[in-house]
């Protein structure tokens, strides 16, 4: 294997740029516009609004995750840190207890840095921040402490794509792999199922910015992802037209070489059992999954998450 590259965040740490970003990000908490809700609350004083997170991040769990894509989990797992709460209110959330209930523990910067280092110690291939959209300043605050403790792993930013441009700019040069989950294409559906009609326009802009920063996904000799954008799309029952539009967008406006994980594991969860969401109260069929792949191929995409690592 070739020599490992110095992570971008270490370069930013050494140049003093990371310290500037931490300061800027923490200042931003006084009138919070960390995500596109623009709540304007003073989180430094502990005020909360949509994401229910104040001064410090909450962590639901952290562990070596073997359920992620092969190129992230490898053979020693992806070092996943699940942040509690969320800035979206998806009615079908597959992690409802984490996103909508007060799961886990509050973690200040030292604790958060310690988690990253523990995961590195366990041999994980990367640090995978899950649902980071509302805690970008808190993550940045922890990062210098983790670097001082010896953090060297690539960073994965695992997001709904409801991210502000400011937060993505703060993460430039720090995140190696962006993993946005593009959920819905139309305003109406986003309003109905995510409770956020602006989601599609925000997600489109976020994906373009992520791609500008890191480009198409690339791998090392062992098949581990090293840098780039990995797009996830959870296929929803009866919503193939949404899938078709998203695949066209990826092929035409991001890159025909976009690496995509078309996911078929949706199951009714969260608030879906109520009559109001009857339409999505079932799993997707294999026919629907075939159609989703067909739409992706017809759009011009050809890099799907089927790649097997060398040890398989």
Applying CB under 6 A, the residues found at the interface with ligand SF4 are 32-35, 37-39, 41, 49-51, 87, 134
Angstrom distance (rounded) from CA 230 to CA 227: 9
Dihedral sign for Cα atoms in the order 290, 296, 302, 303: negative
Minimum CB separation from ligand SF4 for residue 54, in Å?
Answer: 9
Cβ at position 201, least distance to ligand SF4 in Å: 16
Q: What's the angle, vertex CA 130, arms to CA 7 and CA 307, rounded to 5?
A: 70
CA dihedral 203, 205, 208, 213 (to 10 degrees): -100
State the nearest-atom distance from the C-beta of 84 to ligand SF4, in Å. 12
Would you call 193 helix, strand, or coil by DSSP?
Answer: helix
Residue 32 vs 230, nearer CB to ligand SF4: 32
Residue closer to ligand SF4 by CB (options 32, 151) is 32
Residue 5 tokens read as 């590259």
Bridge-based pairing of strands 78-83 and 57-65 is antiparallel
- CB of residue 249 vs ligand SF4: minimum separation in angstroms? 24
Contact of 166 with 202, CB cutoff 8 Å: no
Residue placing its CB nearer to ligand SF4 in the complex, 126 or 131:
131
Q: With respect to ligand SF4, which residue has the nearer C-beta, 98 or 260?
A: 98
Q: Smaller CB distance to ligand SF4: residue 134 or 232?
A: 134
- Closer to ligand SF4 by CB, 80 or 87: give it: 87
- The distance of closest approach from Cβ of residue 255 to ligand SF4 in the complex, given in angstroms and rounded to an integer, is 29
DSSP strands (E only) in the chain:
57-65, 78-83, 105-107, 127-130, 155-159, 177-180, 218-219, 225-234, 259-263, 303-304
As to burial, measured by CB atoms within 10 angstroms (0-12 exposed, 13-18 middle, 19+ buried), residue 312 is: exposed
Strands 218-219 and 225-234: what pairing? antiparallel
Smallest distance from ligand SF4 to CB 134, Å: 4
Backbone angles phi, psi at 47, to 5 degrees: -70, 150
């Amino acid at each position: 294997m070739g020599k490992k590259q110095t992570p971008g965040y270490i370069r930013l740490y050494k140049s003093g740029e990371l310290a500037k970003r931490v300061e800027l990000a923490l200042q931003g908490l006084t009138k919070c516009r960390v995500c596109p809700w623009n709540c304007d609350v003073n989180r430094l004083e502990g005020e909360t609004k949509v994401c229910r997170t104040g001064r410090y991040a909450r962590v639901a769990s952290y562990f070596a995750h073997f359920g992620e894509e092969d190129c992230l989990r490898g053979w020693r797992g992806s070092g996943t840190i699940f942040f509690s709460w969320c800035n979206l209110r998806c009615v079908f959330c597959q992690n409802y207890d984490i996103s909508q209930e007060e799961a886990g523990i509050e973690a200040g910067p030292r604790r958060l840095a310690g988690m990253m280092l523990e995961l590195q110690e366990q041999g994980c291939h990367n640090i995978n921040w899950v649902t980071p959209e509302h805690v970008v300043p808190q993550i940045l605050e922890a990062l210098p402490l983790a670097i001082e403790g010896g953090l060297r792993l690539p960073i994965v930013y695992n997001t709904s794509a409801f991210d502000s441009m400011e937060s993505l700019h703060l993460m430039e040069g720090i995140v190696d792999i962006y993993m946005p989950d593009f959920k819905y294409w139309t305003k109406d559906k986003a309003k109905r199922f995510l409770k956020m009609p602006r989601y599609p326009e925000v997600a489109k802009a976020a994906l373009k910015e992520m791609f500008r920063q890191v480009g198409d996904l690339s791998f090392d000799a062992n098949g581990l992802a090293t840098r780039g954008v990995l797009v996830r799309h959870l296929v929803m029952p009866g919503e193939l037209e949404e899938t078709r539009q998203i695949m066209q967008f990826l092929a035409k406006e991001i890159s025909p070489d976009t690496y995509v994980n078309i996911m078929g594991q949706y199951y009714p969860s969260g608030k879906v059992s109520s009559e109001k969401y009857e339409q999505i109260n079932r799993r997707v069929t294999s026919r629907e999954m075939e159609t989703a792949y067909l739409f992706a191929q017809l759009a011009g995409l050809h890099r799907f998450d089927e790649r097997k690592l060398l040890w398989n």
